[in-house]
Structures are given as structure tokens and as C-alpha cells.
Amino acid sequence: MLYSSIGYYALILGLGISLILVYFSIKNFQNSSTLNTRILSFTFLQFFLVVISFACLIISFVLSDFSNETVFNNSHTTKPLFYKIAGTWGNHEGSLLLWLLVLTLFILIFFLKTKNQPLKYKLLTLIFQQIIIIGFFLFLIQTSNPFNFIFPTPEEGMGLNPILQDPALAIHPPILYLGYVGSSIIFSSALAATYLNLVSKVWASHIKKWIIASWVFLTLGILLGSIWAYYELGWGGFWFWDPVENVSLMPWLALTTLLHCIIVLEKKQVLTSWVIILSISTFTLSMCGTFLVRSGILNSVHTFANDPERGLFILVFLFSLIFISLFIFFFFHKSSPNNSNSFFWLSKETSIIINNWFMMYFLSVVLIGTIYPIFLEVLSSQKISVGPPFYHKLIIPFLIPFLMAMAIGPKLKWIKSNIVDKFYLVLFFAISIVLSFLIVKKFSTNLLINTILVSSALYLFFITLRDFFIRKYSNISQNIAHFGFSLLILSILLNNLFSSEIITNLKVGETFTSSKTKIVFKSINQKQEKNYKSIIANFSIENINQKIEDLSPELRIYNQPNIVTSEADIKTTLLSDKFIVINIVQNQDYFNVRYQVKPFMLWIWISVIVISFGGLLSFFKKEHEK
């Protein structure tokens, strides 16, 4: 109980400090030319208070203090310690505390690391960031207090959904938020720079590191979410175009676009308006995503709270931020004079503009697909579902020229370029087409579209690979990142083409035989674990080469809350995953067995790590090495 009180009052104090910070910053802005050191101290104090509050919540979870309503709703004495801790941010209130933690941390780091920037710029960034922070403090204290008391204190908690007890999911929110929430700094500093007319090459170099850092975390965060979905949810998929997934993808698309633009702005004073718009949009999309996921307006596997009061708060907050941004952009932004805008049509600037063009298209597809059903329902009371077919139909055709542009673009020089390496560009083009034709012909229908798709991915793959080996790249981090992206698309395509599946009903001791596979349901073990009863089914699977694999999927019957989960058994190798899952069929004594062979799954994860690694390299590159 004590910890809940400390945590709560730490939040109230933190809110108070926000107001103090805004006051001092405005005064400092108008008066002095050196930083009032009290501001730095208060920023640190604010962060420290949020840390205390967060720690108190963790402690309450670990101690199973059920007088705290959040702990009561989301924990249970039999939960393992690691998941008690992770349960802190696995719920609506706790995750908002995580939001605050990242918001305050980033502004603190911003202040510590920007010694050389103009004072007014730093102060104004702080002010804008504090506006966001105040909003979240209010939101937390008013509608989502993690430290509500319930009396009398219950004996036991309501438990946490066992699907959420997974290591990947435990670290998914912190990593994701470092990217997602971290884009707040980009938002605040872009607004500050716009107001002070400081959007320039210098500012671009400075903000670039923040963009890369946010981007790397966001990429890894999305990866962790997909890995969790694949290993834990039991349907063998990793991306479903579910609204919550889309909500994390949209800021990523905007951020990637911004990353490319900032590279241009670093070199020349162009695209300033566009950079500002992107900076504002990234965080706006994050906030919009928060709204969609927490307000109950969407229907999804992993929405958080379903509370319209909270939804209304975030909605008003979100649109306040939008209108502030619009105001500042329209009244304070002065476009750069036109004479510096000239570049030849065949140049790196153009290829980046083409990147922007396509990325904005992809962003609009995801945004419209996610939001349109909501609007349609309001206007016409008709409910439609928008799922993978919509996104695939609109995105896949455009991927083809996009991949080609990714291959050729980096090879172009600034301002004006002719294409070197013409021979290799054409040679690889031919090789890609032939190779993909061979691959696709063997295994699939839809020969034409698949061939073209695979060949464009292969093209990017070969070009970036060759560039890497002969060191003919201007920028190693970009080379690695593009290579990773080609690997990602290739892995997804090949996985899609070559995956196969058997669904059948089997009793213990029965065997399923097909022309290529034999599945034997050998036996069943039952065990009582700490907070669930476990039923493990033992299978042995024989494929056409007489190679036998043993797989043991599990069913878990939990006591608190009362649900049954299916844990797939997945054998991962470099070449493919073998995936098996069983389910109870209501009132029958056989099980529903689903066996899938999924090639290249591991490469999908590896490729995203390669992409992030490229970004990471760029982050650590020293200024003078460029």
C-alpha cells in the first residue's frame, strides 16, 4: 500500500514539475542567453520521479499487492516472477507509465547531448515536449491511474492472460516504445526549429541521430511483436494487417521516409517543408495509434482497454497536438528560396523523392485500410472488414518498381549522375528474371506476378550484395539496410510460395498418411504445473526422405483466468520451420492437428535484424568519417 501512495504522489509531483519547467523555460527564452541550470535539474528530477513511480508499480506487482487495482486486475500469486515484473507494462495503466518514462528520458538525454545548439531551440523543444508530457500526466491521473486503491484487499488477483506470458512479449513494449514514443523528440524539436526558422543542414545533422535511434528501436520493436505472434499465438503467421499491427507500422513508414529526407536536407537546403511535415506526422501517427488501440473503437486480437472516456481524452489530446502543429507550421514556416532546389532528373535527390512518393502511397494504403471502416460505420452503419487481401492487392504491385528503385537509387550521385556499372545492372536483371522463373515455375500458380516479384527482390539482393563485396557503395549502412530489406522481401515471398500445411483429426495412436508426409500421433503426457495443467502430445513426422522429426505441441489449461491455450512446437532450422499445433475439438476424443512446413522463417527475422544493424552502423558513424 505504501508503494502505491509513493507512486501516486510521484506522479502528481511530476506533473507539478512540468508546469514549473514550462514556466522557467518561457522566462529563460525571453530573458537570458545562457541556460538556467535549474531547468536541467528539474528535467532530471522529473525523470527521476517517473522512475520512482514506475519502480513502485513494479514492486507492487512483485509483492502481489492486491490493494492496488491494477495489480489485482493483471496479476496472480502463482505467476512466475519474471512475468510479474513484465506484467507491469502489459496492461493499459502500466504501459502509459512506460510512455511517460520514455518521454521524460528522451527530453533529458536531449538536453544532455545538445550542448552546441542554440539556447532558444533547446528551450522551445523542452516546452513542446512538456506539453505532451503534461497531457500524459493528466491522462494517467484522471482516467488511468495505476495506483487506485481497492478495499477490502482481495486475497488473489484476476491473473494475467497466459498468452501474454512470453519472453518476446515481455520486452516488446519497452523496445517498441523507445521508438514509438521516442519520435516525440523529433516532433518537439521540429516544431521548435520551425518556429525559430532553424530548419537547415545543421539542424538536419543534429536531428538525424535521433531519427535513426527512434527508427532502430521501432524496427526491432515491430520485429519482436511479430516473433511473439508467430511463436505464441499458434497460427503460424507473423503479420495479419491487424489494426494494432498497422498502428505500429504507420509511424515506421513515416519515420523511414523522414530518414531518407533528412539525408537530403543534410546536404542541401531543400525539402524543408516536407521534412517538417514528416516529423510532425510520425509522432501524430503514434498518438493516433494510441487512440485507436486504447479507445475501444477498433476490434482486434490485442486491443487494450475498451473505455470510451479514455478514448475521448486521447482524441481531444491528439487533435490539440495536430492543431498546434498546423498553427506553427502555417504561421512560422518560411520556405527556402527556390534557387537551391535544382537538381537533375537522374540524381540521388530524385531517387529519394521517388522513395518518398512510394512510401507515402504505402502509408496511405495502411492508414485508409485501418481507418475507413470506422468512418463507414459512422456514416452508413455498414460494417466491413479490411484484411490481408486489401493490403496485398494494393501494395504488392507497387513493390516491384520500389525494389528496382532501391537497387539503382543509391548508385546515383548527388545533383547529377550518369549510371555507372551499366553492364552489371543489366546482367543482374537478366539473371534475376531467369532464376525467379525457375523457382516460381516449380512450385506455384500465378506464374507471371510471382516471377516478376521474386525477380525484383532478387535484383535488389544481387546488386546490394555485389556492392558490398566490391565496396562500391557510398554508404555501408545504407547498403546493409537495403540488402536486409531485399532479404526480407525474398524470405516472405519464398515462404509464401513454398509453405504447405496438413490439417487433420487424430486420436492417440492414429496415423495420417499422404504422398509426402506421415504423421504419427504417438502418445500423450499430462502434467500439473504451477498455474496450469499441461497436456503434451507427442508426434513423429516422417517426410519423403525417410527423415523423422519428433514434435510435441502442448495444450495448457489455466486456472486463473479460465482458458485453454495451444502452444505450438516449432523446429527451426536455417532452411525451414516445422510447425505443429493441436486443438481440442469440443466434446470429441480426437484432436485437431495442424502441421505446417514453413521455409525461410528464420531468414525473415534475420533480415529485419540486418536492416536494424544497418541503421545502428549509421548511428555510430562519426561525423568526420562521412
Partner 1 sequence: MKNKLLLIFISLIFIIVFILFYKGLQNTNIYTPETKISNKIPSFKGDLFYSDETINSSNFFNSDKFYLLNVWSSWCVPCRKEHTFLMNFKESKKIEVVGINYKDKKINAENFLIELGNPYKKIIFDQEGIIAIEWGAYGVPETFLIKDKVIIKRYIGPLDEKTAKEIKSIIK
Partner 2 sequence: MKIFKLFFVIYLISSFNHLEASNDDVKSKITKNLRCLVCQGQSVYDSDSQFAISMKVLIDKKLEEGFTEIQIYDFFRERYGEWILYDPKLNKNTYVMWLLPILIFLIGGAIIIRNLILKKN
Given 109, 502, 563, 606, the residue binding partner 2 (CB under 8 A) = 502
Residue 442 or 624: the one with the smaller Cβ distance to partner 2 is 442
In the bound complex, what is the minimum distance in angstroms from residue 588's beta carbon to partner 1? 7
Give the Å distances, CA to CA, from 447 to 287, 388, 434.
42, 20, 13
Nearest to 537 by CA among 583, 502, 501, 571: 583
Q: Which residues are CB-neighbours of 566 under 8 A, at least 6 positions away? A: 234, 553, 554, 555, 556, 581, 582, 583
Cα(54)–Cα(10) distance, rounded to whole angstroms?
9
Interface stretch with partner 2, choices 57-65, 105-113, 160-168, 494-502 (CB under 8 A):
494-502
Residue 12 or 312: the one with the smaller Cβ distance to partner 1 is 312
In the bound complex, what is the minimum distance in angstroms from residue 594's beta carbon to partner 2? 7
Nearest to 512 by CA among 598, 599, 592, 597: 592
Residue indicated by cell numbers 469440443: 586
Our finding on whether 500 is near partner 2 (CB under 8 A) is: yes
Distance separating the N- and C-terminal Cα atoms of the chain: 55
* DSSP 8-class letter at 585: P
Interface stretch with partner 2, choices 85-93, 173-181, 187-195, 240-248 (CB under 8 A):
240-248
Residue 66 or 241: the one with the smaller Cβ distance to partner 2 is 241
* Contact pattern from residue 246 through residue 285 relative to partner 2, giving x for each residue in contact according to CB under 8 A and a dash for the rest: ----------------------------------------
Given 112, 316, 419, 575, the residue binding partner 2 (CB under 8 A) = 575
The SS3 call for residue 438 is helix
Residue indicated by cell numbers 514434435: 551
Given 40, 109, 324, 360, the residue binding partner 2 (CB under 8 A) = 360
326 binds, among partner 1, partner 2, none (CB under 5 to 8 A by kind): partner 1
Our finding on whether 390 is near partner 2 (CB under 8 A) is: yes
Residue 24 or 437: the one with the smaller Cβ distance to partner 2 is 437
In the bound complex, what is the minimum distance in angstroms from residue 312's beta carbon to partner 2? 22
Angle between helices 183-195 and 272-294 (to 10 degrees): 140
In the bound complex, what is the minimum distance in angstroms from residue 41's beta carbon to partner 1? 38
Nearest to 405 by CA among 274, 260, 598, 504: 260
Residue indicated by cell numbers 505532451: 132
In the bound complex, what is the minimum distance in angstroms from residue 549's beta carbon to partner 1? 31
Our finding on whether 439 is near partner 2 (CB under 8 A) is: yes
In the region spanning residues 327 to 356, those forming contacts with partner 2, defined by CB under 8 A, are 341-343, 345, 350, 353-354
Our finding on whether 299 is near partner 2 (CB under 8 A) is: yes
Decide: 97 and 82 in contact? Cβ < 8 Å: no
Our finding on whether 383 is near partner 2 (CB under 8 A) is: yes
320 binds, among partner 1, partner 2, none (CB under 5 to 8 A by kind): none
Give the H/E segment covering residue 518: strand 517-528
Neighbours of 144 (CB within 10 A): 24
Given 80, 388, 401, 561, the residue binding partner 2 (CB under 8 A) = 388
Given 451, 566, 607, 618, the residue binding partner 2 (CB under 8 A) = 566
Q: Give me the residues that bind partner 1 (CB under 8 A), please.
A: 291, 295-299, 306, 308, 311-312, 315, 319, 322-323, 326, 330, 374-375, 377-379, 381-383, 586-588
The SS3 call for residue 77 is coil
In the region spanning residues 586 to 605, those forming contacts with partner 2, defined by CB under 8 A, are 586, 592, 594-597, 599
C-alpha cell at 171: 520486452
Decide: 610 and 618 in contact? Cβ < 8 Å: no
196 binds, among partner 1, partner 2, none (CB under 5 to 8 A by kind): none
Cα(569)–Cα(232) distance, rounded to whole angstroms?
10
Our finding on whether 368 is near partner 2 (CB under 8 A) is: yes
Cα(196)–Cα(444) distance, rounded to whole angstroms?
58
In the bound complex, what is the minimum distance in angstroms from residue 42's beta carbon to partner 1? 34
312 binds, among partner 2, partner 1, none (CB under 5 to 8 A by kind): partner 1
145 binds, among partner 1, partner 2, none (CB under 5 to 8 A by kind): none
DSSP state string for 87-109? TTTSSHHHHHHHHHHHHHHHHHH
In the region spanning residues 529 to 548, those forming contacts with partner 2, defined by CB under 8 A, are 543-545, 547
574 binds, among partner 1, partner 2, none (CB under 5 to 8 A by kind): none
Decide: 566 and 581 in contact? Cβ < 8 Å: yes
Residue 34 or 586: the one with the smaller Cβ distance to partner 2 is 586
Give the Å distances, CA to CA, from 261 to 422, 423, 453, 545, 576.
27, 30, 27, 52, 37
C-alpha cell at 404: 528496382
Cα(198)–Cα(459) distance, rounded to whole angstroms?
40
Interface stretch with partner 2, choices 165-173, 326-334, 379-387, 525-533 (CB under 8 A):
379-387
In the region spanning residues 13 to 72, those forming contacts with partner 2, defined by CB under 8 A, are none
C-alpha cell at 297: 473503437
